[in-house]
Amino acid sequence: MRASLLVMAAILLPGASLHAHPPVPADLILHHGKIWTVAHHQPEAEAIALWRDRILAVGTNREIQTLAGPQTKQIDLQGRRVLPGFHDCHVHLLGSGMRLAQVALKDAADEEEFGRRLRAFDQKLPRDRWLLGGDWDHDRTFKGVLPTAALLDRYVSKDRPVFLRRYDGHMAVVNTRALQMARITAATPDPPGGEIHRQPGSKEPTGVLRDNAMDRVEALLPPPSKEEIAEGVRAALTEAHRLGVTTVQDMDGSAAGTRRELLRLYQHLARTEQLGLRIDLYWPLAAWQDLAKLGLEQGLGTEWVQLGGLKGFVDGSLGSSTARMFRPYAHEPKNAGVFVTPLAKLQEYILAADQAGLQVAVHAIGDRANAELLDIFQEVIRRHGPRERRFRIEHAQHLRPQDYRRFRDLGVIPSMQPYHIIDDGRWAEGRIGRERCASSYACRSLLDAGARLAFGSDWSVAPLSPLLGIDAAVHRRTLDSKNPKGWFPEQKITVQEAITAYTLSAAYAGFHEKSRGSLEAGKLADLVVLSRDLLAEQERDHIARTEVVLTIVGGKIVYQKK
C-alpha cells in the first residue's frame, strides 16, 4: 500500500520523483468508515484521503494516516457508509428548480384540496403572471378522470391564463382564458404527434392537451428572466447537494434563448466556484446543427460543465396514454400512442448527429417506440461503422422480451429512472394490462442480458433523491402499498447493482468513467456519507429512510447535515 501511495503522489504531482519525494499531505482525510468504492480491485476500505479536487488514496485507517500533515483536516466517520457521489443521468435542472416556487398539485388528495391550492396560489400571484406548474396526477386526485378547463375556471381568476402540466410532462390542462389566447377551438385540428382532448360527442376542447398539442400554448408563455433562471438554478443546486447528487445530465428542453442563458450561468457559477455540481447539458436533437456548425463533439468543456450530448423524442408517456405501443391501450381501444417525432425525421437527425461526433440520447417509453429506436440505432451503426458512441435510450420503460439483448448487442445504454416503477406501478396495468407490464421497467432482465444499466430520476417528474431510486429498484413496492413484496418482483435488482447504476455505470453513460463513478486514487473527489449502511443486510429494508449526512464535490464539502 505504501508504494501505491507514493505512485499516486507522483501522478498527482507531475514531474515528482518517486524516490526523492514523500507523498504530499492530504487536504482532507475521512477515516473509520465503511467505504464501498464500486471498484472491483478494491471494493471496501476504511479511509480515504483527498488532495485538492482528487482522491489521493483509499485504504486502511493506518495506511491513510501516513498521508496526514499538520494542515490536514480529518473527519471521523464513526462507522458510517461512504459511496461515490451519485450521478443522475436524467434531470431537468432549471425547470425543476423553478417548480420549487410554483403551485404543487401532484399529491392533492381530491378536487377540494386541488382547488384550495390553486385558489391560494392565484391570490398571491401578481395579476399579470401566468399560473404555471402543477405536476398534477389525475390517477391520484380524480380517480383517473382528467381535469378540465371548466374545473380550473372555478378556482382561478377568469382573466388569468393557466397552464398546468401533468407530472410526466406529456399532458397539460389549461383554463378557458388560455384556450382563447391560443385560439384553440372546435375547429382546431390535432397537430401531428399530439391531441386536443374533446368533450364527449363534440369537438369542443376540454382543456386537456397531449404532447405536441401543448405547443400552441407554450409558445405564448413568457421566457424566464435572467433573475428567474438564476433563482431556479440555485434552488436546484441546493437540492442536489442535500441529496448527494454530484453529477447530472441535464436534459433541458428550454427555448434556444433560455438554453444559451442557462449555459452562460453554469459557466459563470463554475468559474466563480459556486456550482458544486458537475453538469452535462444536453441540447435538443432537432437543433443538432447548433453544435455541429461550431465543430463541437461529445464531451467539450471542463470537469464542471460539458456539451456534446443531444436529447430527442420518439413518443409520449404511459401516464398520458401517448407512449407508442404495438397494441392499443386497454382503456382506450382505438389509441396505441403517438410518435412525437416522425421516424424518418428521427433517423435523419440521429444519422447527422452521429456523423458529427455527438452523443445521442432519445426518449422512448412504449414497446414499439423502443423497438423502432433500436432499429434506427442499428441502421446508424451499419452505415457509419463501429465506434464508441454509447447511444442511450432514456426511460426504456416498456419492452418486448426479444429486445432485451439488443441493448447489449448494439451497445445501447438503458438510461432508466427506477422511481417510476413504484409510481407508475399504481396504475400501469390499467393502461396496458398485466401481460405487457411483466416486461416493463425490466431492470433485472436487462442486466441479465448484459446491458449496462444507468439510473437517474427524471426530476421533477420524480423526486431527485437517488436513495429513493435505489429503494425502488431493490424493493419495487408501489406507492399505493398494494405490492409490499414487489411489483413484478422477478425484476428486482440488488443494492450493489442499484448503487452501481447510480455511480460507475451512470458515469460510463456520460463518458466519465475514467474520472468519476468510483472511489479510486486519481479520480475526482466526489463522494457522499450516509446515515445508514445500505449494504448491511439488516438495513436494506430502510433504504428510503436513509439520509445523506455529507456531500463532497471536488474535495469541498457542499452539504453537511446539521
Spatial distance between the Cα atoms of 22 and 7, rounded to a whole number of angstroms: 10
Three-class secondary structure of residue 395 per DSSP:
strand
Closest CA to 247 of 201, 321, 303, 315: 303
**All cell numbers assigned to 130:** 401566468
Cβ(396)–Cβ(420) below 8 Å: no
> What CATH code is assigned to 94-218?
3.10.310.70
Return phi, psi of residue 221, to 5°.
Answer: -70, 135
Pairing of β 54-59 and β 47-51 = antiparallel
- Angle subtended at Cα 245 by Cα 249 and Cα 315, rounded to the nearest 5 degrees: 35
**H-type helices in 40-110, by residue range?**
61-65, 93-99
**H-type helices in 360-491, by residue range?**
367-384, 404-410, 419-424, 428-437, 443-448, 466-475
Whether this prediction's pTM lies above 0.85 is answered by: yes
Q: What is the pLDDT at residue 6?
A: 39
CATH superfamily of 314-493: Metal-dependent hydrolases (3.20.20.140)
Q: What is the pLDDT at residue 16?
A: 34
Cα Rg for the chain, rounded, in angstroms?
24
Half-sphere exposure of 510 (CA within 13 A, CB side): 33
Half-sphere exposure of 328 (CA within 13 A, CB side): 6
Per-residue model confidence as pLDDT tens for the chain (562 residues): 443 443 454 445 433 332 334 468 999 999 999 999 999 999 999 999 999 999 999 999 999 999 999 999 999 999 999 999 999 999 999 999 999 889 999 999 999 999 999 999 999 999 999 999 999 999 999 999 999 999 999 999 999 999 999 999 999 999 999 999 999 999 999 999 999 999 999 999 999 999 999 999 999 999 899 999 999 999 999 999 999 999 999 998 788 889 999 999 999 999 999 999 999 999 999 999 999 998 999 999 999 999 979 999 999 999 999 999 999 999 999 999 999 999 999 999 999 999 999 999 999 999 999 999 999 999 999 999 999 999 999 999 999 999 999 999 999 999 999 999 999 999 999 999 999 999 999 999 999 999 999 999 999 999 999 999 999 999 999 999 999 999 999 999 999 999 999 999 999 999 999 999 999 999 999 999 999 999 998 998 999 999 999 999 999 999 999 8
Q: What is the DSSP letter of 339?
A: B
Spatial distance between the Cα atoms of 557 and 26, rounded to a whole number of angstroms: 15
Cβ(113)–Cβ(122) below 8 Å: no
**All cell numbers assigned to 170:** 406529456
Spatial distance between the Cα atoms of 463 and 244, rounded to a whole number of angstroms: 13
Spatial distance between the Cα atoms of 558 and 536, rounded to a whole number of angstroms: 27
Three-class secondary structure of residue 404 per DSSP:
helix
Closest CA to 428 of 438, 414, 418, 416: 438
Q: What is the DSSP letter of 214?
A: G
Cβ(555)–Cβ(28) below 8 Å: yes
**Which residues, including other chains, have CB under 8 Å from residue 420's CB and lie 6 or more apart?**
395, 397, 441, 458, 461, 462
Pairing of β 131-136 and β 103-104 = parallel
Cβ(553)–Cβ(246) below 8 Å: yes
The b/e string for 395-424 (b: 16+ C-beta within 10 A; e otherwise) is: bbbbbeeebbebbbebbbbbbbbbbbbbbb
- For the chain, the structural domain boundaries read 94-218, 314-493
3-state helix, strand, coil in the chain (%, to 5): 35, 20, 40
Could you tell me the CA-to-CA distances from 414 to 43, 289, 360 in Å, in that order? 25, 25, 12
Spatial distance between the Cα atoms of 236 and 230, rounded to a whole number of angstroms: 10
Spatial distance between the Cα atoms of 210 and 185, rounded to a whole number of angstroms: 15
**All cell numbers assigned to 112:** 377540494
Return phi, psi of residue 318, to 5°.
Answer: -70, -40
Task: Evaluate whether 94-218 and 314-493 have a shared fold.
Answer: no
Could you tell me the CA-to-CA distances from 309 to 89, 229, 302, 390 in Å, in that order? 12, 22, 14, 11
Spatial distance between the Cα atoms of 24 and 70, rounded to a whole number of angstroms: 12
Q: What is the pLDDT at residue 23?
A: 65
Half-sphere exposure of 80 (CA within 13 A, CB side): 20
Q: What is the largest CA-CA distance in the chain?
A: 87
- Could you report how far apart the first and last alpha carbons of the chain are, in Å? 35
Spatial distance between the Cα atoms of 382 and 389, rounded to a whole number of angstroms: 13
Q: Angle, to 10 degrees, between the axis of helix 256-271 and the axis of helix 226-242? A: 60
